[in-house]
Chain A
Amino acid sequence: MTKVLTVRDLTIGWGGEPLLEEIAFDVERGEVFAILGGSGCGKSTLLRHLIGLARPMAGSVHLHGLGSPQQALEPPQFGVLFQSSALFGSMTLLQNIALPLSKWTDLPREAVEVVALARLQLVGLLPFAHHLPAEVSGGMKKRAGIARALALDSSLLFLDEPSAGLDPITASELDDLILTLSRNLGVTIVLVTHELASILRVADQCIVLDRAARGIIARGDPRDLRDRSPDPRVHAFFHRQSQRHDR
């Protein structure tokens, strides 16, 4: 297997205050890699560093064949879904998705529209192509964000809580899509999620972050971690138990 992403000795934080220290992991081509952990432990912050939007306090992120994440931005070599979807409010959903297509492919206008509409159809938003983000629901914004992340058929995707705010059926369709992308197209997917069912179904590898430990407390196949992790924090995470009484 070939590595796509390597993280070494990464220390990250806000305003000089470290949040996670000495993080190290690799992501292999074609795998679904999940970043897990409690709310506020720094998953989204880690993702910001993986895509080069924030400067690490120490350590490095390396995209193989591309260099640093900043070097892979023009043209963008990866697709990103932000936790808040981050759709452009003054553009329709269709225009949101067409933007990278018209900028970074030489497709004629009508073909750009064909591809953008196909992405919207994929996430079930075709009837809302000409709506503004403010005119659709939260879950629909999320799906439109996913469609935009897929726009350029990148071989690497970063998705921050893609199934948050979706009903179970739509969420499971999203899992199908993630599996198809990874199994049929060899797309590498780095995923932040809280949905246990989804983690166990789609993720090949995972890391579990912990705020108190300021780092990775477990790594490996999520099904193994669920069944065999000796760490009480990991056990609690996978079995939905409160730790309040243990402390």
Chain B
Amino acid sequence: MSEVAATPPATPTTAARTLALTGRLTLSEGAPLWAQLQRALADQTTTIDLTTVTHLDGGAAALLNATLQQARQSNHTIHILGASPDVQRLLDLYSCPPGVTCERPAPKEPTALADIGDSAYDVWQQCKAIFAFVGDVCAGLLRAFRRPRTIHFADLPALMEKAGADGLPIVAVINFLVGLILGLQGAIQLHRFGADPFLANLVGLSVVRELGPLMTAILVAGRTGAAYAAELGTMTVNEEVDALRTLGQDPQRFLVFPRVLALALVVPLLTAVADIVGCLGGLFIGMSYLEQPAIAYLQFLQSAVQPGDVLTGLLKSSAFAVLIGLVACQRGLSTRGGAAGVGASTTSAVVIVLFGLVGLDTLFTWVFSLLGW
């Protein structure tokens, strides 16, 4: 390819219905060659003269052969003339070997309608797969309870550190800001009615019952859920999960249980931190915007937020954690294809978890209100 520029490109000397090519025919001069060949095809040329062709590379041979084949398909024959042994050898190399069908395969091009149908069916299949997976895990859990040592606990501390300690800064900062924003918006309204002391009720209850658990779960889903889906997805694509099975390690006990357990242990702790910093955000607004003394805010907080409120929040957060762990692992383990498949399953893990969190939260709120908690 590099020495091409030194030699003149092939020039046509078209006699009647003969295309004579000369010089070096190479891929880097492929565009003019292809144009000539297509013109020759349209002109019903019968002969291509290669007598003065000194060099033919694979790409040019492919273009020549494709032209001959196109001609054959429209029932006219083009003869090749005067090819030197080297040139002929290349043409043979790129021609269809005898006894092989060299028909171009048709690409799979789905229509828009089929696409819509496929994706709707996919959503249904994914939901079914997740429920089946949850069932499997429950059954596996019973078996694992009988022989707890078969669970791969060795990874648990590292998994808890990655999901918990490493995630602490972002959980703290985001939830502080949530408390701050909520406090400010609430303080502006409450102040108009002279209801300043109720800031602690507003911020405390919202954060502890709803926003703390939910925001923390969303952050964990984005950080850790996505990481689990990508990690298990890559392992699946690389046949590492199959390898685990052949080594007598159940992927559920080796990969899924430690991850779900790590999240179930760590997310309530993160939520507790979120509750505290969220209330501190409110305190900051109370002290600065409403000029309340800190002790007053804390006293109102103490009387407004009951231990039951905190407990329902933490209960929710452990359910969220199990949801994140299960969905992320299921999506990861059902990855198909290569790198693109890993991307797709990571995306779908996060999307499904977000939907699931909102759904689960609604369910909890409804049940708690029925129970009067």
Contacts and interface: CB of A to CB of B under 8 A. Distances in A.
A119 B62 contact: yes
Contacts, number: 103
B161 interface: no
Given A108-B31, A108-B34, A184-B86, A115 B62 contact: yes
A78 to B, nearest CB: 9
Given A111-B34, A118-B65, A89 B337 contact: yes
Given A115-B59, A126-B102, A184-B89, A134 B31 contact: no
Interface string A139-166: 0000000000010111100000000000
B2 A107 contact: no
Interface string B1-33: 111000000000000000000000011101100
Interface residues of A, number: 36
Interface string B333-362: 000111111000000000000000000000
Interface residues of B, number: 36
A155 B63 CA distance: 19
Interface of A: 65-66, 77, 88-90, 92, 105-108, 111, 114-115, 117-119, 121-122, 126-130, 132-134, 150, 152-155, 177, 180, 184-185
Contact of A134 (B66, B90, B337): B337
Contact of A105 (B3, B31, B107, B341): B31
Interface centre among A108, A133, A155, A185 (most CB of B within 10 A): A185
A114 B34 CA distance: 10
Nearest to B106: A130
A35 B340 CA distance: 34
What 6 A-B pairs are tightest by C-beta distance, nearest first? Answer: A89-B338, A118-B62, A90-B340, A114-B66, A111-B34, A153-B57
A130 B62 contact: no
A71 to B, nearest CB: 12
A105 B336 CA distance: 33
A195 B34 CA distance: 39
Contacts of B62: 114-115, 117-119
Nearest to A121: B102
